[in-house]
Structure 1
Amino acid sequence: MKLTTQEQETIDSYNQNASKFASSRLTDNKHQRWVVEKQKLKQYQPSGKILDIGSGSGIDAKELVQLGYDYAGVDYSDGLLEQARKDNPGITFLKQSVYELDFPKDSFDLFWACAVLLHMPKDRIGNALQSIHKVIKKGAIGCITLKKGEGEKFVEGDHCGIGYKRFFSFYKEEEFKNILIREGFEVLETYETDHSNKKWLVFFVRAK
């Protein structure tokens, strides 16, 4: 599935700013990036194979491995993949689009999709979720985080003063919950949280 102009511009921004982006994520980690969500994931599914969708610079990889999961990360940015492999030797990172995940059916027991599906245009989010559903097992547990809001637009200089341009889709809780149900996921838990001075929505789901 070919990327849209919005998606390609976002990938280009990540490629051009990969090292700066990785450094900004290290700052996030000092403030325990998504630590509550990782603990909750462990409670829902203590072990198994996990797919990190939009693994970026690999900032969540070490923690997910330390939690005991058999980890694989996928991203479509060459720059971020290079950074992830450099910072996390021995951990698997593959170049794959969320729309075309190249794994056998029922490969994973869990998935982690934090701050990635928000880069998909709203009219393509169903395609992304269907692709994820194909490679995870029935009953697989997933964590998804999105920015709270309305509409979709490009945002520039959005994080740590880095002047790059990225496309975002913003969601209301009920809006995305209905999309998840439509695409074959049971919503186990959802809540709002503050992260990096932004309002985020967190969804824990189970594949039907």
Structure 2
Amino acid sequence: MENLVNYKMLPVWDAKKLPQVFCEKYHIQEGAWVKLHIIAGSLDCEILTEQGEMKSQHYYDMLHQPPLISPLQWYRITKVSDDLQCQFAFYCQPEDYTHKKYQMTKTHSEVVLACQFIPKGKVLDLGCGSGRNSLYLQLLGFDVNAVDKSEQSINNLQQIIHNENLNHINASLYDINQANLKGEYDFIISTVVMMFLQPDKIPDIIHNMQAITKRGGYNLIVCAMSTADYPCSVGFSFTFKEQQLLNYYQGWEILKYNENIGQLHKTDIYGNRIKLRFATLLARKR
């Protein structure tokens, strides 16, 4: 469980209040683990196949606690003692935390990949939106400054920070088009943000990002493109052309650059998700 995080605790239930759903064929959703803690009494449990056939039977009490229940595992509670008291706790991978707890879009995959080797430090989330990436980064131990021009998004994120008493993240209003941020950062991210900014401000925004990145620090940018083979049909204010983003980072160590095809959540008139090329860059300042 050392790499999992708790995203939900259910109430303490006794024998009379234990929901019937757990006494029938039940399974844990994908990406979730469950820990059942017995506070008093005992219960019998069966591990099942997907077809409902019994694989094994188990008895648990305060001295013999149930093991962690894996995602998609089928089981049912078959018998409980009259003095039973128990509680279910739900866990997930850190990158799924905001999705599971707040129904946010999942942490951007490029942020998850980058964090596999980028050391903990001070992060700027430029255009944090709901805070999906910022909350993930602070969960890993980064000190995060999250900025966005949406007052509603920042207010919601500040409420989460307050409710969870988070000490490694700050959220504030900021119009990225101003391109006048100060400070020093080890890691600056801007994922699917620049296509909503003013086209004439993009050079200044990138130069501002680069200027406040510490030597040895990292920039991660993901932004939609408009190319001959995949012209942008969505009303974005800005899209990159081929090699345009890469050209801004001459002199930096390019750890990753591609212009791969990706899908928007937005669909076309036939209900198909719109495909575009996305410029993805991860670079280290020399």
- After superposition, the C-alpha distances for 1:24-69 in whole angstroms (9 at most, x for unaligned) are x94532xxx423x123212341211111000112121221112221
Q: TM (normalized to structure 1)?
A: 0.68
Aligned CA distance change for structure 1 residues 194 and 187 (closer, same or farther; 3 Å): same
Please say if 1:179 is aligned against 2:283: no
Aligned CA distance change for structure 1 residues 45 and 63 (closer, same or farther; 3 Å): same
Distance in 1 (alpha carbons) for counterparts of 2:254 and 2:202: 16
Structure of greater Rg: 2
Q: Which among 176, 194, 197 is matched to residue 262 of structure 2?
A: 194
Which structure has more relative contact order (CA 8 Å, sep 6+)? It is 1
Please say if 1:109 is aligned against 2:186: yes
Match of 1:6 in 2: none
Assess if the C-alpha contact under 8 Å between 1:55 and 1:73 holds in 2: yes
Match of 1:78 in 2: 151
Please say if 1:128 is aligned against 2:202: no
1:42 partner letter: C
1:103 partner letter: K
Match of 1:40 in 2: 113
CA RMSD of aligned residues (A): 2.7
Which residues of structure 1 form unaligned runs of 5+? 1-21, 156-166
Which residues of structure 2 form unaligned runs of 5+? 1-98, 266-272
Taking the TM superposition and a 5 Å limit, the aligned residue runs for 1:58-69 are 58-69=131-142
Q: TM (normalized to structure 2)?
A: 0.51
Q: Give every structure 1 segment of 4 or more consecutive aligned residues whose post-TM-superposition deviation is greater than 6 Å.
A: 151-154
Match of 1:207 in 2: 285
Assess if the C-alpha contact under 8 Å between 1:54 and 1:75 holds in 2: yes
Question: How many residues in Structure 1 have an aligned counterpart in Structure 2?
Answer: 166
Match of 1:55 in 2: 128
- Percent identity of the aligned residues? 21
